[in-house]
Structures are given as structure tokens and as C-alpha cells.
A and B are shown apart, each in its own frame.
Chain A
Amino acid sequence: MRVLVTGASGMLGRATATALHARGDDVTVLQRRPAGLPCREVLGDVADPGAVARATDGQDAVVHLAAKVDVTGPWAEYDRANVEGTRTLVAACQRAGVGRLVHVSSPSVAHGGSALVGVGAGAADPAHARGHYARSKAMAELAALAADSTDLAVLAVRPHLVWGPGDTQLVARIVARARAGRLPVIGSGAALIDTTYVDNAAGALVAAVDACGPVHGEALVISNGEPRPVAEVIARLCAAAGVPAPRRRVPFPVAWGVGAVVDGVWALTGRRDTPPLTRFLAEQLATAHWFDQRRTREALAWTPQVSLDEGFERLAGAYRAG
């Protein structure tokens, strides 16, 4: 099968392209800078119709991961990369006669800030999504699913908090903060959260490529299906990286207040560096979000192959080696 993977320079995109290639698919990757993968490569921006047309031409399926993932920056950048990028890609798929589109989304598209306890994949809700990233991803998912048709089967897949060796987002930031002694536990640390080891997320996306068609027009959340209290997740990530786990506690209202101030300061001054805390992050770290995986596993005929404990082992191995 000929498959295009967009955004293959990120941890998950790379793992997905590698997995598809390893099983014998004819893989093309599209991203702005060379990814160093043994695949045909198209360099370009997903919002650039020319590059996207070249990349989608002749493909059977597309896995769309390319996105701006951040907590700062102006709305226009998120709108262009995530919303326009997805619309451009969908249009190109339709023109090129691609049969399947696996759109990689995020559980935050349906998260209004309240606790999510064993829920399924709610409808994407741009009006209530928290922050530019979540809002733009919500709009992108709606645009992708709107294109679902008999010619183009669309499946939205939402991996939740993907982590693993080589992760520059979640793991690297937590470890850097912890090493600097600047990582507090927000609230009680008891909020139950789902996470996804990177190989499992990649496996789910490969399964989604196969399932897309018979299964289409819906959104599926992906996780390891092993929720843990957030303090335990952080402690185990720190242990894997060989840094001390946080001991200092910040009450949630304080953290939320600090996050609100930070949001305001960063917005007013236009700072682009990663802020110490945002309201979104405070909520993410203090509020339960774990998911009902029954529909996902049935629809994709997939189960995670790497348990959390095995994942922490592999992460520790990577840190020891690195």
C-alpha cells in the first residue's frame, strides 16, 4: 500500500512512518525539514497546496500528523498550520483520489476543562476547547471528518499524552524542570490520567490505516488503557530519566492563578519561549482525563503491545544509553 505520512519529523510521525515501512508499505513522508528516514521524502509545508499535491499524488492512504503543537504563539500560526493545513490536505486527497485519511487529532479537542472519567471520544468542540492548540485542532478535526465520504474514508484518531524515548515535548520538559528543581506537583497529584507509549500510538495509527474504510467518520481516543495518578506518572518518568521526583506541592488554585498571569504576560508581550505554567497546563496536570477504550480497540482491532511498566523500562534504557 502507498501511504503518505505528514509530520514525520516528530516522535510519533517518525515512529509511524518507520512502522509502516517496516511492514512493507510504500511510504512517503512530508515535512518541512529532512527527517532522515529511509522513505521517499517531500519537503514542504502542509498549508502549501503545491507541496501537498505532489505528496498526495498516487497515494492509497494518508496519515496526517503535521501540526503546530505548542502552548504559546499567536492564533494565526495555529490557524495556518493546523486548520488551513488540514483543509489543504483534505482537498488534495480528494483531487488525488486517495481512499483513506487517518487524521491525527487530540483528546483536548473535546476537553472543556472538566474532569474526563472513563469517557469515550466526545465531539470536537472548538467553542469550548482550551487554548489555541486545542481550538485549532478541534476545527481541523471537524474539517477532516466533514470530508468523510464513499470516495474518501476519514478516521480521526486522538492519541493521548504520547511519550517515549526521543520525546522533546512531554518527557523532555518534565525531566528538564525536575532536574532544575522547578517541577512542583499541582494539587493533590491524584488526578487519574491516561498516557500512551509512543510505539502503542504508532501501532494504533498503523491499525487505523487498515481499519479506515469499514470504520470511518468517527473519532477514536488512543491510550495505553492504564490510567495512573498524575503524580505517579511524573515520578516514574523522573525515575526513568534518573532525576529526583518532585516533592513540592502547589495548590491547584494557586497554579491556575499563576497560569492565568503567565498566559496574560506571554500574550501581551508576545514572548515565544515556553512559559513555566499555563492555565491549560495547570488544568491538565490537576484534572482527571482518562478514557473508555472499548470502542477504539474494537474499531481498530488493536491493543497496546507495550505496557506502561515496559515503556518506563525502555525510557530508562534510552536515558542510560543517551
Chain B
Amino acid sequence: MTDTSSAAGDLPPGLPGLDPAWSRRVTVADATGTKHEWHVLDNGVREPVGTLLCVHGNPTWSYLWRRLLAAAPPGWRVIAPDQLGMGFSERLPELRPLAQRVADLGDLTAALGVTGPVITVGHDWGGVISLGWALAHREQLRGVVLGNTAVAMPPGDLGPALIRLAHAPGVRPAATVGTPLFVRATTALSWPPLPAEVRDAFAAPYRTAERRRSVGDFVADIPFAPGHPSRAAQEAIAEGIRDLDVPALLLWGPRDPVFGERYLADLRERLPQAQLHRYEGASHLLPEDAPQYARAIAQWVLDLDSDRAVPRPAADVPGRHPWSALADRAADDSPAVVEVGGSTTGTGTDGGGWVTGGMVSWAGLHRRVERLAAGLAAAGVRPGDRVGLLVEPSADLTASVYAVWRAGGVIVVADKGLGLAGMRRALRSAGVRHVIGGAPGLAAARLMGLPGSRIAAGVDRRAARALGARHTLAGLEQLGATAAPPVETDVDADCAVLFTSGATGPAKGVVYTQRQAVAQLELVRTAYGLTPDDRLVAAFAPFALLGPALSIGSVVPDVDVTAPGTLTASKLADAVAAVGGTVVFASPAALRRVVATAGELTAAQRTALGGVRLLMSAGAPVPLLLLQQLREVLPAAEAHTPYGMTEALPVTDVSAAEIEAAGTGNGVCVGRPLPGVEVRVSPLTGTGTADGPLTDAPGTTGEIAVRAAHVKDRYDALWATERAASREPGWHRTGDVGHLDGAGRLWIEGRLPHVVSTAAGVVTPVGVEQRVEQLTGVSAAAVVGVGPAGTQAVVVVVVPVTGAPRRGHAVADPELADVVRAAAGVEVAAVLVTGALPVDIRHQSKVDRRAVARKAARTLAGSGSRRA
């Protein structure tokens, strides 16, 4: 082996992002003594902590890794060679098989003096080669990182369709060598589309057919057929990595038409220790489509040598599981769940299920859940399997949730508010292995192309078959009547993946373990003094499910609980009357409608409502006025509003009386942290980011962080997002901005991305909005910023009581602008009027300030700007 090395200095111009100082040439002899000239990008760190060895695929080159070289973790050397025949390395006279390429890479690292710890980084077919190197250098291997790649054809798979096409004898020479089609098509896959100069940079080494020879050879070397000369080497690598005990990181672009979900699943199966981040929207060329990948790798590498395992509070839950309350009351014939009205879809059998009219006893629910769980297990639902639930809120949904838990499965819940595309992204990212759905749910599952087996709810066997379901819930219950009950799973196993509303980017999957879910139930039970004597009226979808777990009987009003606003005062009263309800849970939108329809209540209905002792409202901030109006309808009820989010609920709680006592302040007062919950803030910088160390100093505005036993375990398949949210180990950063006051109360001032950063300091929206909404002429207001961070101008967009054109923004007249400015308390550049503010789909009350800001920015840029 030889080792002559020199700076390259001969790269063509026009390679944006590539520092020519990284470029060098190395001459290395292979085992036969033949010398090869390599082109390598090398950040040149001497005596490094370790080395990142980055291997590109076909038909790219080391240019792919330029951002990782730029973002190298401190002290780490980053080496990215151009494979022989590729990039600006020497051209080869013949095909170089996989085993040879792996050996070549070893020769190269030896020549480059790579001796310390190494983390391999591979993309596309560079993935297999990098793993081949990893297996051959186990003693110095510190970790493996893989982008969109494959090490094996999953069983029954014929290989990626596009690559197979390029592999076809008649096609390959023309597509890969004779024309730049393959080279160009690869960078055309990128999403969002790559700038022309970057695409040109990728094509730069492959301008002539002669220079593209290895591009075709690479494709020819993919061992599709069992007798292929490289098959044995590929299989040895694919099997060998099962023994790797080093940390692994998978970074994935789900829009990849070459390597789809099954390749990701195959890799996760072979590398079960791997952490995963799916960059939603990114395609095959992940390092291009998700430039933030480089910082993620750097962070991951640094974390390997630092101990972040700070113990977080864990609830002591001896022998308890989320379904334990059902077992406790297995002999109780009192009602567990009642559905008011005739819209029930219960499919109970043999008297163990639903009574006509939609009532099920504790004993009946327990029996149904036990049988269904056994049936699910018999039908192949294994502990840890993820089960997508596409069932409308109903008795079937309640039974399914507890049965999946009882069987050791993990429920995956993504609501309709995400839209079909959002649900598809969510459920595919969660890797569901089974889907339980009603007819519409299973039809949607087919439309979304979800993987996994299908179980039909609320339809007969024939209809189920038509929907592609081998089982129905009723059939599984029958099956389960004679099957062995599933073994109870470990309390630290996952139990749920719940998706956020997706108001700020793609919805995120939030993973809970059973222990965290039990901690949440305990907190809710103690915080609100719930006892088995209580009866819960649940007009808010998630809580319709929780009554059984809280061991309190619950009733679902005769409304679509996913559509706030369909609840009326008399429907609420009927539901309360049906079970003697003592606790009402509803969203602000539903409660607004209740207040509006209070006039239709009969005396009997008013009497029933008088028995309610506790009103809980959540999902969005609840105005004090609404809580006060509700006293008219629910005279004995203490109104409470918990504050929290999908990742941690509840965090704080506040009663109407406490809101009144707190008075006005900068933001919405959400009360004090509940017992066992710690709240701190990370102070904001002048540009509106939250970088400061966590503090509980009163009056300091920052991003709110929470620490408690019931906080989520992690984000699902979003390693980098989880890393950022849990920057302070044991804490969860919420993305909400607010402050604690001297009395320990938390005030919410807005969302972190909605903070306006002016030259005079940051402005949080909620407090200003509240002051402006006090004005008699204003029915709603949104405060947003326009202009660059650090020098933004504050804009108040108001919906006047007198109305305004529904679409678009217009300049407020000077009189309105004057009163808004006087009320705002901050320097306001512009006051605009509009007919309505955009709100989120799930809660219909959270204003989408980013959408408002975009529209305001367009308006305030002026009409002449388009001409520029």
C-alpha cells in the first residue's frame, strides 16, 4: 500500500458549498498492487477524537456530504471519498464488484491513517459498502449512520422498481452510460427541487459517456438474482450487521420512490438499536432535501460520549396498568359507559357487550375487553405491535383501546383534523402493523396505502372481507372466548402513539409508556378528586375514552364528539340526567354553544344540570367570560381549565375563581403546576429564540419546559426533534412561551414561533391580543410580526364587530388604529382589519398566527412589489 497524497486543486468551478481546501488526491495500491488515484474530501483534522467516514452511492459523489464536512462535530475528522470510477476519482476499465469496493475502502482508510474510532455514514449503495467496511473494522467502529439505503431485498421483493428498470439489459447502457439520464434523474428526485447550480455540481464529474462508465457498472453490480457474483458479499453484510452492537442512526426521506418504507422496516429489524429520524417531505437524496441532517449527525456523535441519562421522575405504579380499573370492577354490574340516543354502533354479542340503547356495565366491558384482547393475540397482535385506530368515538373504540392495551399492543391515534394526507403521513411514520377501523376508516386505510392487517369494527363478515379485513371485532371476541388471555406486558412498554394537531408543521407522533399513562390517570384522579361515585359526561373526544381507566362511569352525549359545536344545552342536560352526571368535560367551542342554547332548557333539565359539581374545559384557552356565563347553566359546578398539550397533560390547572383573582397580566393565567409537575422557562433572546438556561425566576418570559412522571416518553421516529425538545435531560420543552408570576402561577403568552422580535425587544402576542380584544369595536385580534427577526414590526390584525371583507386584509381607519394602539401597550406599526382569523381544525379556536403573518406581510409589502 502506498500513500502519496496531495491537495487536488483541480476541481472545476461552480460547486456551491464545497470548500476547495477539503479536496485532495490519494494514490493507494490495492491487494494486487494496482495503484488507484482517489479523490477525497477531508476536513484535515489532526489527531482527531474520531472520524466520520462518509460513503456516497450511485450516481452521486462526495459533494453529497459537503454540509457534514462544514458541520463536523468539534475534534472530528470527516472523510468523504469519491468511490473508484466515480466523482473525481480515477476511471476504471471494468466493473468493480461489491467485495472489492469494500476492500478498496479499507485500503483507503489505511492509507489515510484512520486509526481511532470511526463512525460510518452511508447513503444509497454507499450504505452497503460503508457497512462492509464497518464489519471489517469492528475493533475501531464507534457507530453507523445510514441515509436512504438498503442492505437486502426484503423477502419476496424484487428490488426498487426504478433501479430494476435501470438494471434491465436493454435499458441500462443507454440510461446510465450512453446518456446522462440516470445522473440527472437522481437529482431530479429531490424535494423540494434542488437549485440548478447544485444539480449541475452533482453532474459535473459525469459529463461524458466515458466518465459515466462506472455509473452503469454500479447498477449492474446490484445482486438482484440469486446467482449474481456479488450476492454472497451482499448477504454476508446484510446478515453481519445483525451482530453490530454499536449505536446506529437512521435518517430517512419518506418520499423516496427508490427505497420505500419496507427498506426502512428491514433496516430497523436488522439494527433494532437504531435511532430514527424521518424527515417528512424529504425524498431519496436526504442530505439535499433535509440539510439539517448534518447538524443532527453532529449532535448524535457528540451525545455518544456524553451521559445524558439523567433520571426523570417515574411514577411508582405497583402492578397497575392502564386497564387495571376494568379488572378491579370485573364483578360490578353498574354502568361503565352509556351512550345517549340511538346512534350507537355497539356490536356486542352474547350478552357480554352492549345493552340496547348503548349501555355497558363494568363487568360487561371487562369481559368484552378480555375476550377481544385474547382474540387480537390469536389473530397475530403481538406485544409492541402498533395498531392504528380508525374507529369513530364509540363503544367499539373504547373496547378496542383497552383490548389492544391488554394484548400488549400500542394504539396509534391520528385524528381526522389532520386531513387524509396528514393522517397518511402520520400512520405510515408510526409503522402500524394492524388497523382497526369502521367501514369509512378501512376505506381510508386502503386509500392511504397503510400496511398491516385489517380488523373491521361495526360491519358484518362479508362487508369486512370487501374492506380487506380478515377479522371483525365480533369475530375476534368469539375467538377470544376460548383463547388463552394474553400475558400482561411490562409497565415500561409503549402503549400509545398520539399525534399532535399539526398546527406547526407535520403532525408529530408522541409515544407514551404504560407507566406514563398510569401516572397521567393518577394525576387527573387526584387533582380533580374523582371517585367511583362520580359520573363523567364526556363531550370531548379523548376523554370519552378515559372514563373506564379513571374508574368512573361515563356518558357520551348524543353528539359527534369530534365536532365541537354540535353539543347543545339540552343534549348536555339529557346526558347528565341519564347517569346522574357530576363531572362535565367539554371543549370551549362546545361550551360556547351550550351557553348560546341555554334558553331552550326545561326546568327538569336545569335541575339535572344543577347536580354537576365539576366542569372541565380543555383544548384551548377558555375566556373568563365564558366560564362566568356557564355559571348560569351549571350553577353548582366549579369551572376548571387544565393546561397542557399532547406531550404532557395536564401541566397546570386553574379555576374560574382563580382566574378572577389573578386579574389581568401579560398573557393567559393557567394556574399553578399540579402536584409533582415542575415548570420552568428558557428565557428568550432578542431574536425570539429560547436559548437561556431553565429558570423559575418570576417575571421571566421564555419557552415553557415541563418535568413530570406523566410527560411523554419521546417523539416517534423523530430523533432530532426529540433531542431538541429534551435539550435539558428529563425536561420537555413545550414550544409555548410564558412566564411564572410571584405567586407561582403560569401565564401563557403565545407559541415560540409566534414571538415577534422587534429592535426594542421581543413581543409575545397573547397579552396584546387580550388588551385589544377588550375594545368594544373589536371581536377578535391577532398580533404578528413582519420583517426580519430582530427588527420586526408589530402588526395587529383585528376582526371589527362591524365586520370586514372575509378575505384579505385592509388598513384600519385612523380612529380604529388609534384605539388599538392605545390599548396595545407596545409600538404597533400597522392595524389591519379582516373578516375572520384562520383557526386550527382540531380545536377551532387556536389562531394560526403564522398564516395571519404571511398574509399581513403580503399586504404590507404593497401592491407595487410584484412588479419588481
Chain A residues within CB distance 8 Å of chain B: 112-115, 117-119, 186-192, 225-232, 235-236, 239, 245, 251-252, 256, 282-283, 286-288, 290, 292-294, 297
Contact = CB atoms under 8 A, between A and B. Distances in A.
Interface in B778-813: 786-788, 790-793, 809-811
Q: Most chain-B CB neighbours within 10 Å: which of A117, A227, A231?
A: A117
Nearest to B686: A294
Contact of A114 (B811, B832, B868): B868
Contacts of A186: 863
Interface stretch (B267-275, B502-510, B853-861): B853-861
A260 to B, nearest CB: 11
B829 interface: yes
A112 B787 CA distance: 18
Contact of A287 (B786, B793, B857, B864): B864
A113 B867 CA distance: 8
Given A113-B864, A229-B830, A282-B864, A190 B814 contact: no
A292 B792 CA distance: 8
Contacts of A252: 862-864, 867
B810 A256 contact: no
Interface string B553-584: 00000000000000000000000000000000
Nearest to A287: B864
Contacts of A115: 861-862, 864-865, 868
Contacts of B817: 232
A191 B814 contact: no
Most buried by A among B793, B860, B862, B868: B862
A191 B867 CA distance: 14
Interface in B432-468: none
Nearest to B818: A309
Contacts of B791: 118, 292-294
Given A190-B860, A283-B867, 12 more contacts: A113-B868, A115-B864, A117-B861, A188-B810, A188-B811, A189-B811, A191-B862, A191-B863, A239-B814, A252-B863, A282-B864, A292-B791
A101 B867 CA distance: 37
Given A189-B811, A192-B793, A293-B759, A287 B861 contact: yes
Contacts of A286: 862-864
22 contacts: A113-B867, A114-B865, A117-B788, A117-B857, A117-B861, A118-B788, A187-B862, A187-B863, A188-B811, A190-B832, A191-B861, A192-B829, A228-B830, A229-B811, A252-B864, A287-B868, A288-B862, A290-B793, A292-B787, A292-B788, A293-B791, A297-B759
B19 interface: no
**What are the nearest 7 A-B pairs in CB distance?**
A191-B862, A114-B868, A118-B787, A187-B863, A287-B864, A115-B865, A286-B864
Nearest to A238: B814
A226 B865 contact: no
A192 B830 contact: yes
B812 to A, nearest CB: 8
| Main secondary structure on A side of the interface with B | mixed
B827 interface: yes
Contacts of A235: 814
B781 to A, nearest CB: 17
Contact of A294 (B790, B859, B860, B864): B790
B813 to A, nearest CB: 8
A256 B793 contact: no
B824 to A, nearest CB: 13
A226 B811 contact: no
A192 B867 contact: no
B832 A292 contact: no
B827 A283 contact: no
A283 B790 CA distance: 27
A188 B862 contact: yes
Nearest to A118: B787
Nearest to B856: A190
Nearest to A229: B811
Interface in B820-868: 827, 829-830, 832, 857, 859-865, 867-868
Interface of B: 759, 786-788, 790-793, 809-811, 814, 817, 827, 829-830, 832, 857, 859-865, 867-868
A115 B787 CA distance: 11
A190 B827 CA distance: 18
Contacts of B827: 226
A112, A119, A232 — which one has the most chain B CB atoms within 10 A of its CB? A232
Given A187-B862, A192-B829, A256 B792 contact: no
A191 B830 CA distance: 10
A283 B830 contact: no
A115 B788 CA distance: 13
A178 to B, nearest CB: 14
B865 A190 contact: no
B796 to A, nearest CB: 12
A228 B832 CA distance: 11
Contact of B865 (A227, A228, A288): A288
Contacts of A225: 759
A235 B792 CA distance: 24
A229 B787 CA distance: 14
A239 B864 CA distance: 26
A45 to B, nearest CB: 36
Nearest to B868: A114
Contacts of B859: 188, 190
A192 B865 CA distance: 12
B815 to A, nearest CB: 10
Nearest to B817: A232
A90 B223 CA distance: 76
A114 B863 CA distance: 10
A228 B787 CA distance: 13
A311 B867 CA distance: 33
A225 B865 CA distance: 21
Nearest to A235: B814
A287 B865 contact: yes
A98 B233 CA distance: 80
A229 B788 CA distance: 18
Contacts of B810: 188, 190
Contact of A191 (B788, B860, B868): B860
Contacts of B788: 117-119, 292
A286 B857 CA distance: 14
B438 to A, nearest CB: 49
B247 to A, nearest CB: 44
Given A190-B809, A227-B793, A256 B864 contact: yes
Contact of B814 (A187, A227, A236, A282): A236
Contacts of B860: 117, 190-192, 229, 288
B862 A287 contact: yes
A232 to B, nearest CB: 6
A287 to B, nearest CB: 4
Nearest to B827: A226
A249 B860 CA distance: 16
A322 to B, nearest CB: 23
Nearest to A239: B814
A227 B786 CA distance: 11
A173 B861 CA distance: 24
Contact of A232 (B811, B857, B864): B811
A191 B793 contact: no
A292 B759 CA distance: 8
B225 to A, nearest CB: 59
A118 B792 contact: yes
Nearest to A117: B787
Contacts of B790: 292, 294
Which has the most chain A C-beta neighbours within 10 Å: B788, B827, B861? Answer: B861
Contacts of A229: 811, 830, 860
Nearest to A231: B811
B688 to A, nearest CB: 14
A226 to B, nearest CB: 7
Contacts of A294: 759, 790-791
A130 to B, nearest CB: 10
A186 B865 CA distance: 13
A122 to B, nearest CB: 13
